[in-house]
Structure 1
Amino acid sequence: MICSSSRTIVIPREAKFQYPKIYKHSHLNVKTYVYHWKPRFQSKDFSRLIRSNFRRMAIEPLTSGASGRINALFSLRALRSFLLLLNAVVLFLVLPFRGTRRASAIGSGEKVGKEVKQESRRKGSSSSSAAVVRVPVAMLPHRSAAVVVDKEAAARRSLAIQRVVQDDDNETVREFSLFTSARGDTLFTQSWTPVSATVRGVVVLLHGLNEHSGRYSDFAKRLNANGFKVYGMDWIGHGGSDGLHAYVHSLDFAVTDMKMFLEKVLAENPELPCFCFGHSTGGAIILKAVLDPKVEAKVSGIVVTSPAVGVQPSHPIFVVLAPIISFLLPRYQVSVTNKKGLPVSRDPEALVAKYSDPLVYTGPLRVRTGYEILRITSYLQQNMNRLRVPLFVLHGMDDTVTDPQASRKLYEEAASTDKSLKLLEGLLHDLLFEPERETIMDDIIQWLNCRV
């Protein structure tokens, strides 16, 4: 048969065509072809049929069917095709920059695949009756990357838990707990509770970029000795929490998580004044959180050291390119901050301890993380005058990571009636790991004691 609307020819096997009889319908101006079948197939008759069919297609005038195909150019299906083409072009343009990352992911996937294979061999003797087919993870690059990230986060969490369990200080009870965020991520949290001192207040501690809450254990124990129970949270992508190490898709996630964690702490300590301490980017997270009137009403004061309210990128062009690159290649790493880069302490032993810690990220900054820091600093610069909680700001004047003059501006523009600023000559970024750390801790504790 021949269907004139779709030009479809269906030929039965072992068939023969006679030359078709043609009937013309005057009222439709359409020719109808009727074919009679014979038992045998003859190629010359079939060739004649094909020529006749194509001749008819060539002279047929434009009809509504063709106009429908033209209208289809503006349909949703055409739009989807265009978007797919555009996506392919973008991937083609950025492909040279993704080579290293893809190779790394696949390499990690192959490693995981070998481990799975070895596991299956070990179990093969006990379950030989059931044939199990395991697909190497390297064959699934996207899933392998997720598996590697999850495995790496689990290893970090295990180490963070181990350090809490092995801390046998007689003056402090150190405990850990796992906290689930609104997005379903598992966050590692820990607490330090004084054994002999009476608890007079609570401090919620937030670490800086690339580090974790466990680094502030000495500071937490000093607070314990002065009657303050301390809670620490590893924000997303850090320490024992979920996520790619040191990758933050949005610092608003960390702000939201901090608010939820603060609610949990307040529920456990309803009658105690609650303070917040944050270092560097952790300080910026706390500052943005307390701009929320609901959080502001529940916090008795905040202390920030070297807050990230003013950050200078490695090159001015990064400010322009950051939104674009962070969208296209969010996990791409830029060599602007690592262990061979900007100094953060004048104490050599403190530097060795930091950069030999597996829970501290020492690799290049990820583009999305850097862009998120620029974004939160820009927000704080425009909203400093909304800050009304009691505030204590400390900053080293020789800090090359965050701008000490931005801390001065924070102090001057904050609407807080109770605010203090201490700029320390010659000190660098990590104030609580400088040689003068004991004096700085005493200043913070004295400020807290005056507000309990």
Structure 2
Amino acid sequence: MQILHTRSSDGTRLRLARWNEDGDKDILLVHGLAEHLGRYQHIGEYFASQGWRVTFLELRGHGESEGKRGHVRLWINYVEDVQAAMGTVGRPMVIVAHSMGGLVTLATMQHSMTPKVHCVALSNPLLGLFTDPPKLKVLGGRLLSKIVPTLALSNEQNPEHMSRDAEVVRAYANDPLVFDKITTRWGAEMLKKMQDINDHAASFSLPLLMMIGGCDQVCSPDSARAFVNNYGGTAQTKEYHQCYHELFNEPEKYEIMADLNNWLTQQWPEQTPSS
């Protein structure tokens, strides 16, 4: 693995990682809220072993990338981070994104994507919360996001909801790079973009694999299913009925990654244009 850096359009310095520089097919990995490179090491290594050149992006405010933890001024800033990472990849690719990273990736798909993206796979994307916040809390959050946008509040994540693997839960709870607060602006921007993406599901056209943990208690499985039903392009669902939120950290993670690898390989064209 090698560490790379790039800058988003506003100058924010972003950390990336690369596995298997000699791979002839490219994957870009986009993580979820409060995650970082260390939680994706085994994923990068697995896909590198399958012949992929793997690039992992740490979004602003995460890991060792610049930015306030759990904060974004506008959701488009995350989109610009992904676009910068795509520029670092520099070749046609597939994108694999988890949770919040799924919402960021879908937002990126609303804009021009260069180089070409062949398909997208989403793992329990943030298209709906498992427990909807009270309407009064949402309205209050919108107001606070305008008055005190950087006010940080608990993200109310329970580590035990991440995985059925007790060691994963312990590591998550004790990880110094995993944060447990989000700002009022982050919350308002997330809810606004989530609604926008769901309202425009029919406008998307890239081949999509929706990977759902049937027992996810972080993101809503029903919201993911509804999005697929309304999706404008070709969409396939792979549901793991017993799994929690982090499919790639579940006891059967290598079976799940093998399923994903098979689907991505099927989507990859036999001959890829150079640009």
Structure 2 length-normalised TM: 0.91
1:175 is aligned to 2:2:
yes
Match of 2:28 among 171, 193, 204: 204
Q: Equivalents in 1 of 2:135, 2:216: separation in Å?
A: 19
Q: 2:166 maps to which residue?
A: 348
Contact 1:205 1:213 in 2 (8 A): no
Q: Equivalents in 2 of 1:213, 1:375: separation in Å?
A: 27
Q: 1:41 maps to which residue?
A: none
Q: 1:320 maps to which residue?
A: 139
Cα deviation per residue 1:413-438 (whole Å; 9 max; x = unaligned)?
11113x21022212111111111211
Q: 1:248 maps to which residue?
A: 72
SS in 2 for 1:443: helix
Q: 2:271 maps to which residue?
A: none
Q: 1:370 maps to which residue?
A: 187
Provide the identity percentage.
Answer: 26
Per-residue deviation, 1:279: 0.3
Q: Equivalents in 2 of 1:430, 1:263: separation in Å?
A: 27
Q: 1:216 maps to which residue?
A: 40
Q: 2:20 maps to which residue?
A: 193
1:410 is aligned to 2:237:
no
Per-residue deviation, 1:297: 7.6
Q: Equivalents in 1 of 2:211, 2:50: separation in Å?
A: 20
1:280 is aligned to 2:99:
yes
Q: 1:451 maps to which residue?
A: 267
SS in 2 for 1:450: helix
SS in 1 for 2:200: helix
Contact 1:249 1:369 in 2 (8 A): yes
Per-residue deviation, 1:213: 3.0
SS in 1 for 2:117: coil
Cα deviation per residue 1:238-293 (whole Å; 9 max; x = unaligned)?
01111122222222101112112212312xx3xxx41001100101111111122x
Per-residue deviation, 1:330: 1.8
Contact 2:47 2:54 in 1 (8 A): yes
SS in 2 for 1:399: coil
Q: Equivalents in 1 of 2:98, 2:122: separation in Å?
A: 6
- Show structure 1 runs of 5+ residues with no match: 1-173
SS in 1 for 2:127: coil
Q: Which residue identity lines up with residue 78 of structure 2 in the other structure?
A: A
Contact 2:14 2:64 in 1 (8 A): yes
**Runs of 4 or more above 6 Å deviation:** none
The structure in which a higher percent of residues are helix is: 1
- Show structure 2 runs of 5+ residues with no match: 269-275
Q: Larger Rg: 1 or 2?
A: 1
Per-residue deviation, 1:296: 7.8
Q: Which residue identity lines up with residue 281 of structure 1 in the other structure?
A: M
Contact 1:338 1:365 in 2 (8 A): no
Q: Which residue identity lines up with residue 246 of structure 2 in the other structure?
A: D
SS in 1 for 2:264: helix
Q: 1:56 maps to which residue?
A: none
Structure 1 length-normalised TM: 0.56
Q: 1:92 maps to which residue?
A: none
Match of 1:308 among 116, 121, 126: 126
Q: Equivalents in 1 of 2:60, 2:115: separation in Å?
A: 25
Q: Give aligned pairs, total.
A: 267
Cα deviation per residue 1:171-204 (whole Å; 9 max; x = unaligned)?
xxx111221111111111111116xxx6231000
RMSD over equivalenced CA pairs, Å: 1.8
Match of 2:109 among 274, 290, 307: 290
